Each structure stands twice: as C-alpha cells, then as structure tokens.
A and B are shown apart, each in its own frame.
Chain A
Amino acid sequence: MKNVQFFAPETLDEALQLLNKYAPQIRVLAGGTDLVRDMNLEFNIPDNILWIGKLPLEYIIEDGDIIRVGAATRMQTVGNSPVLKEKARAVAQAAGKLASPPVRSLATLGGNLCTASPAADSGCALLGLDAEVVLTRLGGQRVVPLTQFYLGPNKTVIQPGELMTEICIRPTGSGEGSAYQKIGRRQAMTLAVLNATCRVKLDGLGLVDDVSIAVGAAAPTLLRITAAETMLRGKPLSEAAIIEAGEIASRDINPMDDVHGTVWYRRKVTKILVSRTLREAAGKNGGG
C-alpha cells in the first residue's frame, strides 16, 4: 500500500504553506463524502491529504450587502440556517435535498463546489444566486464568480496551491425570491437527474427587474440560461413568459444520455422544471 501523508493544520497560514509545498501532489479533504469514497473504491488515492476540518471555516455571517459562508460549512448547517432560509432560500433548500442526514453532517458547501459535479445540488443553487467564491493562496487571494468557476465535469479554475475559503452570496431583497427544485429517481437520497434554480426580482409594477436561471445535470457544467434571462427582463412575469423561458432552457441545454436519464427526458423535464422553479421563486404557485 502507498505511503500517504496526512496533515491537519490548525491555522489557515499553516494550511496554505503545506498546500504550496506539496502542490499538485496534495488533495484537500473537507467533508470527505467525495474524496474518501474515491479512496475507498481505490479510484484515487492521493499522496498527501490536507484536512481542513480544524480551520475556522464553518460560519454564516451577514456582512452588509453580502452573506459570507465559510467554505467548510456543512450542509446541515447551511440547510438549517435562518439567514440563508430567509435571504438565500434556494441554497438552504438545495442543502436540505442533498443525500441523507448522515451525509449532510459531513459534506461541505465548498466541497460540493470544488467537486464540480454538473448535477451538484448546492452548486446549482449558488450559481442561480450569483455567488462568488474566494480562492486563497500564500500571500493573496482572488474572488471568482461562479459563472466563471467551472471548466468541465470535475474541473474548476482552482490552481495548485489555492484553497477555497469562502462563498459570498448576494442576498435576496424586497420583491425578490429564489427557489431550487430537483428531479431525481426518487424523492430523497438521490443524484439530480435535473435541477434548477431561479432568482426573480419584480418591480412595483410586477415587471421583471432582475432574473437568473441556472440548470444542472443538463450540460458538462452547471449552466446559466442567459437567453431566457434576457427575454424575461423588463416583462411582466406572465404564464406565457414563464413557459417561454422553460422552452428556451430546454433548447439551450447540452445534456447527455446516461444511467440517470436520457437526452430526450432531460429536455422535456427542463422545460417543466424551469417554469415550475420560476413560479416558485416569484411566489406564483399556480400553473402546472
């Protein structure tokens, strides 16, 4: 068996020194629900493991116009957070729909982003809420919008030596709501066959002031449906507009056939799920 070194630093500086020293032959361990599974199955046994569980990276703080969430905040903390439930509802919903309670007491928000699954629950919600991530390295950091974070399945812009330390979410304000919906092979404990997140802001006249639509499990990365967003802006959120947005999404995704679902099914369901999520985010729960 391979000699694997294990590090459990207690300060961020120590963690960054180690990352810098051993990169790229070092893997960051957060909740372990992906990395330890891959090690169990012998898919991927790293030479060096850096566990970040001792770093003070589990927090949810309202800081002026932004909600700052520590990258190692666990899904159950995210799902139960009153701040997120009120001001970033889709993220709390997504965290609550991820796998099962024992997995949610391990899995972290940052880990879910870094794994970069095209079907990620919280990744889809955060993309739909315009979140940004803070990547920290020795002597500096950069802030990357999630729209520019994913490069492909399990590929992100994170460079060797960088550690995701924080997720910044722009909270929803008055006249604004968000929603996350997921279709799986069963109600719970399931990977998304398709998921969607919408954030909708209506002005005093009921016109769409701002909107974002994110869809997951429908392309090599989580996807924003910008054409539908553009179409909706400045219009009343009528049932016809909601259905048209779903049709645009169904056209603009780039899904594949896999064991979870077919291209045909994913296109059909995208139309319905995007419309449904838009209605929920806008507080219009009528319609089908």
Chain B
Amino acid sequence: MIKYPITFKLNGKQVTVEAPATINLLTLLRDYLNVTSAKFGCEQGNCGACTVILDGEAVNSCLVLALTVNGRAVTTLEGIGTIEKPHPLQAAFTEYYAAQCGFCTPGMIMASKSLLDHNPHPTREEVVDGIVGNICRCTGYNKIIEAVLDASEKLG
C-alpha cells in the first residue's frame, strides 16, 4: 500500500507520520498518533463528536482527508488545557454539569472554542448556531449553552 508522509502542527508541536491516502484526520489522530479526545461517531459529518480546529476553524475531522493537513495546524482538546490548568470552556463545562456521558464533550468544546475565537461575546442564539452540528443525547443542551455563555464572560 502506498503511504505518504504528513507533517503538520498538532497542538503546537510539529509531527510527521506516514499514512495511506484513504484515511481521514480522525483516524490519523486516534490510530496513528494516539490523540483520542476527538471521538468516532458517525463518520459522515452529522454528529460533530470528532470536531477539531484546523487552521483556526472548527471542522469535522472525519471529513478531512488526512493527507490534506500536510503543512497545516490542528488543535484538539488536548491542546487547549490540562487538568491543572483547564481552558475557561473546560472549567465552565465542569461547573455547569455540561457533560454527562462525555462522548460529545471534546467536539462540543472545540466547536464552542472556534465560535468564541471568532465571536467572543455571542448571544444565546449564536451559541446555539455554533454548536448546531454537535449532537448531545444526554444534557438537552441547556447546560452546555449556559457553560459556553459563562466561559465567554470569563474570557472577557
């Protein structure tokens, strides 16, 4: 099988990995680089569980062919905060009980981060529009929306 080298910036660090042309960014992250926050949900762009930030914008990593990230920058949940020093969104999700089973949470936070990066003070409606592509089957979304609004205030 033909493999191609891919060099890109992952959470601020340069990485190089070899992969075939058929795999997507989600598989590259999870199976080749052991970066597992992005979740494998539908692989069709419908659920948002695999959302990461590519060159500053939220994307469904399952719809990005791995080879197309060569030379670009990818940020996953691992790159925005730690347990000791969580990102304000991570802190707000904890405080507002915005995660129950947690499966959607990494994608939800990355979609929210992209929203706040582009629009630091969204209205409630704009938050809803920002996370419309991320499905959560537990929370009913209200706590997630409250958490994002709170984080937007704390981020200033």
Contact = CB atoms under 8 A, between A and B. Distances in A.
A99 B60 CA distance: 11
A49 B65 contact: yes
Given A1-B20, A6-B4, A102-B111, A32 B132 contact: no
B48 A100 contact: yes
A259 to B, nearest CB: 14
A106 B43 contact: no
Contacts of B134: 100
Nearest to A37: B44
A231 interface: no
A32 B68 CA distance: 10
A51 B22 contact: no
Contacts, number: 98
Given A8-B70, A45-B22, A102 B59 contact: yes
A106 B65 contact: no
Nearest to B130: A101
B64 A101 contact: no
Contacts of B4: 6
B123 to A, nearest CB: 15
B2 interface: yes
B99 interface: no
A240 interface: no
Contacts of B45: 33, 37, 99-100, 102-103
Interface residues of A, number: 30
Interface in B84-119: 111, 114-115
A5 B48 CA distance: 28
Contact of A99 (B1, B20, B51, B133): B133
B60 A103 contact: yes
Contacts of A8: 67-68, 70
B2 A5 contact: yes
B37 to A, nearest CB: 15
B58 A37 contact: no
Contacts of B1: 1, 3
Interface string B1-34: 1101000000000000000111010000000000
A101 B63 contact: no
A27 to B, nearest CB: 11
Given A45-B22, A106-B60, A101 B114 contact: yes
A102 B51 contact: yes
Given A6-B4, A49-B21, A188-B132, A37 B63 contact: yes
Contacts of A31: 63
A108 to B, nearest CB: 12
A224 to B, nearest CB: 29
A205 interface: no
A101 B111 contact: yes
A14 B111 CA distance: 35
A99 B47 CA distance: 11
Interface string B54-78: 1001111011110110100000000
Interface string A87-108: 0000000000001111101100
A2 B24 CA distance: 15
B132 A100 contact: yes
B46 interface: yes
B129 interface: yes
Interface string A8-44: 1000000000000000000001011100110111000
Given A32-B63, A36-B65, A37-B44, A102 B133 contact: yes
A36, A49, A99 interface centre (most CB from chain B within 10 Å): A36
Given A33-B63, A102-B133, 14 more contacts: A1-B20, A2-B22, A4-B22, A8-B67, A8-B68, A32-B63, A37-B43, A37-B44, A37-B63, A41-B43, A51-B67, A51-B68, A102-B111, A189-B133
A-B pairs, top 6 by smallest CB distance, nearest first, are A100-B133, A6-B21, A4-B21, A40-B43, A105-B57, A188-B132
18 contacts: A1-B1, A3-B1, A4-B20, A8-B70, A37-B45, A39-B24, A40-B62, A49-B65, A100-B48, A100-B134, A101-B111, A101-B129, A101-B130, A102-B114, A102-B133, A105-B57, A105-B59, A189-B132
